[in-house]
Amino acid sequence: MSGTPSGATRDRAIATYDVLGGPPRRELDSLVELAAQVAGVPFAAVNLLSSHAQHQVATAGFEGEESPIDHSMCRLVVESGSPIMLEDAGHDVRFAENPWTTGEIADVKYYGSHPLTTPEGVTIGTLCVFDSESHHVTPQAARGLAQLAERVVDVLELELASRRLAEVNTRLSTSNERLAHFAGQVSHDLKNPLTSVSLSLESLELEVSDPFQVDTVARARRGVDRMNGLISNLLEFASQGEAPGDDLVDLDLELTHALDDLAARIPRERVRRGVLPKARGDAAQLRSVLMNLIDNAAKFTVDSQAAEVEVVATGTGDGGNRIEVRDRGRGVPDEKKERIFAPLARLDKTVEGTGIGLATCRRIVEAHGGSMGVMDRAGGGAVFWFQLPVVRD
């Protein structure tokens, strides 16, 4: 799409991503934090500009808010489709009277802003970095901001593709042939953003030198690599609809990997773990089950509880093991104990999630010849469990 997008065009594009008014996006929060680090400034934001307002959907260094579009410095970037990098915005005639530079809202001096443009060519907002002090504009900062702006759009596209996969999975749950066809179509949408993220992180690794930044980028790359493998396995599983392989899987090791992937939002001290057994099947799929159950448990656990989430193995009467993930949340009402395993079911719509996690978990466990359910926890909370066939020597 050429030319300046109208407010109505932006509104439609933004609505497609369903990001306004929802819970915080952890992936976007991570990208704005990285943008601030790369630019060497304390503040950064993802701004989406609708026809009437600027919406700060992810921020670093300050609390985001909605403000009139007439106050937006980033409006010029959206309307032109071109980035702006300034050592002191107050000395630029375009911003000299803007409330973000005059002290009415803030006292912005250093200002860098790069457009967020959808694959359809609609510029919907910006990734911007700023400071109350002047800084020299470096090519490295400009290049890093451009790369991270592309990754913001990739994250939005990945969420959109995931939601569409969830919606279609519901309609096609009884038809493996139709599900396989859709999985082939959606794999491109899921894989391309991850490939772009991986390449950009690889480029950033060569540019950053601060140990904290190096560690942040390295952890992000490891997470992308594991997510890539996870998506490949889940898409293959959706396509085939058949039982997984018969590899010997160390669930204790996969629990460690799962906690590594979740460490950015679930501190290790929040999870009390026991020793898990071995099982037969696919390691990546079983790891995804553990990740989903632990993530759900952490979301619904009361913050004041110590060691809020427990992951343990309990014995069964036939000599097997049952894996239990226990939380201290509000529990699951009896009438919803089965319904929550249906695709797109949501126990609490105020908590972030797509609703596909538990449905996928049960499908994976059942494909491994096991079963999954939920029960009340003594003293309050819920216990999500799954049981797999006994491993025979």
- What pLDDT is attached to residue 303? 57
Rounded distance between C-alpha atoms, residue 69 and residue 307, angstroms: 45
49-73 burial by CB neighbour count: b if 16+ within 10 A, else e?
Answer: bbeebbbbbbbbeeebeebebeebb
Spelled out in words, what is the top-level CATH class assigned to the domain 247-387? alpha beta
- What pLDDT is attached to residue 197? 77
- What pLDDT is attached to residue 35? 94
Domains 7-138 and 247-387 share a fold: no
- What pLDDT is attached to residue 277? 92
| Inter-CA distances, 170 with 160, 178, 244, 257, 368, Å | 16, 12, 21, 29, 21
- What pLDDT is attached to residue 347? 53
Instruction: Name every residue whose Cβ is closer than 8 Å to that of residue 62 and which is 6 or more positions away in sequence.
Output: 43, 45
- Domain residue extents for the chain: 7-138, 247-387
- What pLDDT is attached to residue 350? 43
Task: Give the CATH architecture of domain 7-138.
Answer: 2-Layer Sandwich (3.30)
Helix, strand, or coil (residue 120): coil
Q: Which residues of the chain have pLDDT under 70?
A: 1-5, 169-192, 226, 229-243, 302-307, 317-319, 343-356, 393
Show the beta-strand stretches assigned E in 131-234. Answer: none
- What pLDDT is attached to residue 285? 87
